[in-house]
Amino acid sequence: QVQLVQSGAEVKKPGASVKVSCKVSGYTLAEVSMHWVRQAPGKGLEWMGGFDPGQDVIIFAQKFQGRVTMTEDTSSDTAYMELSSLTSDDTAVYYCTVASYCSGATCYSDYNWFDPWGQGTLVSVSS
Amino acid sequence: DIQMTQSPSSLSASVGDTVTITCRASQTIRTYLNWYQQKPGMAPNLLVYAASTLQSGVPSRFSGRGSGTDFTLIINSLQPEDFATYYCQQTYNFPRTFGQGTKVDIK
């Protein structure tokens, strides 16, 4: 089964960039559809972007377009999410997660869900 | 974008109660609806996918139903470990969107 291990907490100044990593094990990165979700303190879950296998592209939430980059290193099965021009509003826990299409022996061509999730990476932005 | 609206935003309940959480989509999402449970300091955990299919290992006191725009998550005989925040999510199209969450706490 897939396991995701993320990099450690980060503290950044406003205007800086942060790069969070997510190491995949149990499967290769090429076999999964990676997504990133963030959660500001005391707030809900916010989808940032992820891979759409139907279009074979990474799709980003509009509010992050131009400011977020999602890359993959298949040689190390590690995914990266880089967010630039940080402000205090970007203080949040950032999660990587995989869009799964199979539960046990049952697989679907279209139904999918986020499972598993990484443990989360706290990014704090403060001057 | 498809807006997902949960109600209530929070509720207080006792052990043994039956709890119902509602999620409404701004347009039809057929049955492309998932439910997650999140406890403080932890990543979300999948409970139900495709609106009504219980993820393996999830207790049978949880159930999901609905299609189109209206969905419910029902927790029968609430247990102490069920006090958490619950989120719905649509995977009908991109961008993926979540409801704002429903916090279930102890009365």
Strands A68-73, A78-83: pairing is antiparallel
Per-residue pLDDT of chain B (107 residues; tens, 9 = 90+): 999 999 999 999 999 999 999 999 999 999 999 999 999 999 999 999 999 999 999 999 999 999 999 999 999 999 999 999 999 999 999 999 999 999 999 88
The beta-carbon neighbor of B34 closest among A49, A50, A113 is A113
Measured between beta carbons, the chain A residues lying within 8 angstroms of B53 are 103
Residue pLDDT, tens place only, A15-52: 999 999 999 999 999 899 999 999 999 999 999 999 99
Only one residue has tokens 């999410």, namely A81
Is A44 in contact with B98 (Cβ distance < 8 A)? yes
What the block records as the tokens of A69 is: 């980059």
Q: Mean pLDDT throughout A63-78?
A: 96
Measured between beta carbons, the chain B residues lying within 8 angstroms of A65 are none
**Does residue A92 surpass a pLDDT of 90?**
yes
As a whole number of angstroms, the distance between CA A1 and CA A49 comes to 23
The whole-number pLDDT of residue A51 equals 96
Strand partners, B19: B75
Q: Alpha-carbon dihedral of residues A43, A46, A48, A53, nearest 10 degrees?
A: 150
**Does residue A1 surpass a pLDDT of 90?**
no
Is B36 in contact with A114 (Cβ distance < 8 A)? yes
Strands B102-106, B97-98: pairing is unpaired
The beta-carbon neighbor of B49 closest among A49, A62, A111 is A111
Residue B78 per-residue DSSP state: -
The whole-number pLDDT of residue A33 equals 95
As a whole number of angstroms, the distance between CA B3 and CA B25 comes to 6
Q: Is A90 helix (H, G, I), strand (E, B) or coil?
A: helix
Most B CBs within 10 Å, among A65, A94, A114, A119, to test the B interface = A114
Measured between beta carbons, the chain A residues lying within 8 angstroms of B93 are none
Measured between beta carbons, the chain A residues lying within 8 angstroms of B94 are 52, 59
Only one residue has tokens 């199209």, namely B93
The beta-carbon neighbor of B46 closest among A45, A62, A115 is A115
The whole-number pLDDT of residue A104 equals 86
Is A46 in contact with B94 (Cβ distance < 8 A)? no
As a whole number of angstroms, the distance between CA A27 and CA B23 comes to 33
